[in-house]
Amino acid sequence: MKMKQREDRNVERGFQGNKRKRGNATDDLAVKVKKDAADTSKELVFGNVILQDEEIQGKKKIKVSKFKELERAKKLEELKKKDPEKGEAFARKQSWEAALNRASGIKVHDDPKLVQKSMKKEQKRREKNAEKWKERVQTRDQLKAGKQQKRSENIAERIQQKKMRKIAKREKKLLRPGFEGGKEGFMNNGTA
């Protein structure tokens, strides 16, 4: 009797055996919400601002030398000084173009003072690198000369040792057993 009551109660509460039944309505809703979120996230783009045509953006910009950039910036300033109205209109147009370029990630060099400062910095860096390179070459040459000197000393020492061994060997040959001292002449000088 108690078993029957327990089973009835479990069925009412949504249990089947020892496990609870999962409701299909909540599962379907969760899956549907996930699919909707996935679809909408495909359409959303964060951190992308399209300012120019993709064709223009895709092309690589040719890097202009700093000297040319400096000349162009100076011309812009001269134009502003000469004819204020035209210069102002041109400057406004240039500032919009510069803002678009900056926003799309292109570096803009429109201030002549900053360009000159950059050129000086680059020149100093080149000079410093040239000095470092000279030091490297000098130390390399010194090491090379030191190694060559040591090698020549070792070769000369080896030659000297070889000569000394030959002399020692010759003197050992000249010594004859049974006589004191070395050979001073023939044993029979022909005066016997």
End-to-end, the C-alpha distance of the chain in Å comes to 153
Is this structure's pTM higher than 0.75?
no
CB 70 within 8 A of CB 119: yes
> Residue 115, class by beta-carbon neighbours within 10 Å (0-12 exposed, 13-18 middle, 19+ buried)?
buried
Who wins on pLDDT, 137 or 175?
A: 137
23-59 tens-digit pLDDT: 555 566 666 777 777 776 666 665 655 555 544 445 5
Domain limits, the chain: 62-115
User: If you ran DSSP here, which 8-state letter would residue 18 be given?
Assistant: T
114-134 tens-digit pLDDT: 888 988 999 999 999 999 999
Inform me whether the pLDDT recorded for 179 exceeds 70.
Answer: no
Structure tokens at 111: 């201030």
